[in-house]
Amino acid sequence: MEKILRIHMGAEGGPKFSEGPVGDYAGLGGRAMTSAIVAKEVPPTCHPLGADNKLVIAPGLLSGTVAAMSGRISVGCKSPLTGGIKEANAGGQPSQVLARLGYAAIVLEGKPRDETLYKILINKDGVRIEPDNSLKGLPNYDLIEKMKAQYGDKIACISIGPAGEMKLAAASIACTDMELRPTRHAGRGGVGAVMGAKGVKVIVLDDTGKTMRSPKDPEKFKEATKTWVKGLQGHPVTGQGLPAYGTNVLTNILNEAGGYPTYNFKEGRFSGAAKISGETQAELETARGGLATHGCHRGCIIRCSGIYNDKDGHFLTKQPEYETVWAHGGNCGIDDLDAIAQIDFLDDNFGLDTIEMGATIGVAMEAGLLKFGDAQGAIKLVKEVGAGTPLGRILGSGAAVTGKVFGVERVPVVKGQAMPAYDPRAVQGIGVTYATTPMGADHTAGYAVTANIMNVGGQVDPLKPEGQMELSRNLQIATAAVDATGMCLFVAFAVLDQPETFQALIDMINAFYGLNLTADDVTALGKSILKNERDFNTRAGFTAQQDRLPDFFKKEKLAPHNVTFQVKDEELDQVFNW
């Protein structure tokens, strides 16, 4: 990955591309790459949908290698949803393919001078940018079928659906999985709207004729990889729980802990949780001829994805993730897995963040647009978004906008971005992450559920404020570094519990690049990424007031524990004072 591909969409005479060395960005990958480019090259006060914003797509440091779990891709820009810096992360095949094609990043710059829509083809022979208005309005699944017909089935695609074309702030960017389905999404922050603003519908990647990336020290890399795989397979979460039941294994766990946000964050337990749990979901998938365990990219050994078939045994969607099942399930009072799976398919097809849409529908229910538990009503609302009706455009702009339009007070957002599936009153550490991460409310930025609920990497009482600031800080630093490697975040369970597995990750990077990094260097990398992101947000106008949860979390007690969020503002302000 020795070069950066820059595509200027607003160039005189039509889009132009150039390739150059990584230069100042040498040694960076994934989130480290996207955040560095955005922080250095994007004016912090620019309009997110304007020509000055840039969309950066970067594979991780170990993507394109034989290292297990290294297929995550980072997408960065100034967010239309938060107004700050954004990195959204996805699985699927594109990261591996892009890395094998030799690119450390793709940077989309400028803005087309008219409404022409473009497709970009990248293969071993180079780059082609072609106008193709026949793609306008196509949902993701139809789009990918068209790309397969044109370019064969050895490709990987990065695309937007109608939501991205409409530049809605809840729009995602889809990445194709191993079966060439647009099921893996860089969902958060409206990155799809920025791709839409750049006039790019799809990037088609084809690494036919390219080989796996080769390490500097093959023997050491091979040994480190063995230790790495052994550690992941030997941990109860990554070796047993996630492969058996997928991420939705968390539904019963969080519900039992009283931290499962229900009815738009009114309660901490959902009476219908057992009907939509990972255990129930896996049983249903198997009975219908789907798959309860499945990898989203080649080289995945945790295999926490799956395939969800309808009642007739036909493919409906990939296995809905825990956050998706919660967002369109318990949060909205819906306990029907088939309805949730149908909404998941619609979200993927239209190109929408399932978390943002589920939270938005919860707010709409709070506003009285429909009743909690109305599954068919929820499906209709998502279809409104896909159709681009006036109501659909409001909903597709996210929970914060919807709350303002309909006069709702209980709107669970930070920096304009909806909270995921953990109530910060019952999981106080995740509340610190929601409040302080530069990304807006984002569980993956510092997954304190580990020590708060699962006793991974230690134990911190989830209902008390003590120790939460330090827990979130350490996890945010570690997560930023992991996001730079291209590794799936779920490796963190084994890394936090097993020192030898953490060392194996460092050893793989060292063997591959011929480096001598230590654990301290990994920490320094994480800190440098967060510093870049915080600096951008400060220059964009963010202050300590943006690092706060909505007031109702401090005032309304959450059943069943009857607790409020208790971490003081003064502590929130100390998270980044390392």
* Four-way CATH pick for 215-245+424-578: 3.40.50.2000, 3.20.20.70, 3.30.300.30, 1.10.599.10: 1.10.599.10
CB-CB contact of 355 with 418 (8 Å): yes
DSSP state of 239: I
CA atoms of 477 and 433, how far apart (whole Å): 11
Instruction: State the chain's mean pLDDT as an integer.
Output: 95
CA atoms of 119 and 275, how far apart (whole Å): 42
Domain positions in the chain are 3-205, 215-245+424-578, 259-422
CB-CB contact of 329 with 254 (8 Å): no
Closest CA to 392 of 376, 381, 379, 378: 381
Residue 130, CB half-sphere, CA atoms under 13 Å: how many? 11
Sign of CA dihedral 474, 479, 484, 487: positive
Instruction: Return the percentage of the chain with pLDDT > 90, whole number.
Output: 91
CA atoms of 157 and 138, how far apart (whole Å): 14
**Tokens, residue 206:** 């084809």
Above 90 in pLDDT, residue 223? yes
Above 80 in pLDDT, residue 453? yes
User: Residue 514 CB: number of other CB atoms within 10 A?
Assistant: 10
Give the dihedral of Cα atoms 356, 555, 371, 360; nearest 10 deg. Answer: -10
Q: Which amino acid is at 222?
A: K
What is residue 315's predicted lDDT score, i.e. its pLDDT?
93
CA atoms of 556 and 37, how far apart (whole Å): 41
For the chain, helix (H) and strand (E) counts, in that order, are 24, 17
CB-CB contact of 163 with 393 (8 Å): no
Closest CA to 400 of 440, 431, 438: 440
Closest CA to 101 of 126, 119, 69: 126
Above 80 in pLDDT, residue 351? yes
196-228 in b/e form (b: 16+ CB < 10 A) is bbbbbbbbbbbbeeeeebebeeeebbeebbebb
Question: Going by DSSP bridges, is the β-strand pair 103-109/3-8 parallel, antiparallel, or unpaired?
Answer: parallel
DSSP state of 273: G
Closest CA to 426 of 217, 287, 266, 202: 266
Average of pLDDT values for 212-217?
94
What would the DSSP string read from start to end of 22-91?
-GGGTT--HHHHHHHHHHHHS-TTS-TTSTT--EEEEE-TTTTSS-TT---EEEEEE-TTTSSEEEEEE-
What is residue 79's predicted lDDT score, i.e. its pLDDT?
98
Above 90 in pLDDT, residue 242? no
Average of pLDDT values for 539-544?
98
Average of pLDDT values for 6-16?
96
pLDDT in tens, 159-206: 999 999 999 999 999 999 999 999 999 999 999 999 999 999 999 999
Residue 390 burial (10 A CB sphere; 0-12, 13-18, 19+): exposed
Higher pLDDT, 67 or 266: 266
Give the dihedral of Cα atoms 565, 264, 393, 440; nearest 10 deg. Answer: 20
- Residue 240 confidence class, pLDDT cut points 50, 70, 90: confident
- Is it true that domain 259-422 has CATH number 3.40.50.920? no
CB-CB contact of 118 with 129 (8 Å): yes
User: Residue 454 CB: number of other CB atoms within 10 A?
Assistant: 19
Above 80 in pLDDT, residue 1? no
Residue with tokens 């949780």: 273
pLDDT in tens, 82-108: 999 999 999 999 999 999 999 999 999
User: Residue 545 CB: number of other CB atoms within 10 A?
Assistant: 7
pLDDT in tens, 513-539: 999 999 999 999 999 999 999 999 999
**Distance, first Cα to last Cα, the chain:** 32
**Tokens, residue 403:** 């709350």
Q: What angle do CA 354, 439, 81 make, to 5 degrees?
A: 60
Cα–Cα distances (Å) from 123 to 2, 120, 129, in that order, read: 16, 10, 12
**Tokens, residue 544:** 């300590």
SS3 content of the chain, % helix, strand, coil (to 5): 45, 15, 40
Average of pLDDT values for 211-239?
93
> Nearest 5°: phi and psi at 59?
-75, 165
Q: Give residue 403's Cα distance to chain centre.
A: 23
What would the DSSP string read from start to end of 286-308?
HHTT-EEEE-SSTT-SS-BEEEE
Angle between helices 468-485 and 519-539 (to 10 degrees): 100
pLDDT in tens, 131-170: 999 999 999 999 999 999 999 999 999 999 999 999 999 9
Average of pLDDT values for 257-261?
98
Fold of 3-205: Aldehyde Ferredoxin Oxidoreductase;  A, domain 1 (3.60.9)
What is residue 204's predicted lDDT score, i.e. its pLDDT?
98
C-beta pairs of 373-377 under 8 Å, 24+ apart in sequence: 373/332, 373/333, 373/334, 373/335, 374/334, 375/334, 375/336, 375/339, 375/340, 376/339
CA atoms of 403 and 363, how far apart (whole Å): 6
- Residue 436 confidence class, pLDDT cut points 50, 70, 90: very high
- Single pTM value for the model: 0.96
Alpha helices in 170-264 (DSSP H): 191-197, 218-234, 236, 242-245, 250-257
> Nearest 5°: phi and psi at 204?
-100, 125
- Residue 496 confidence class, pLDDT cut points 50, 70, 90: confident
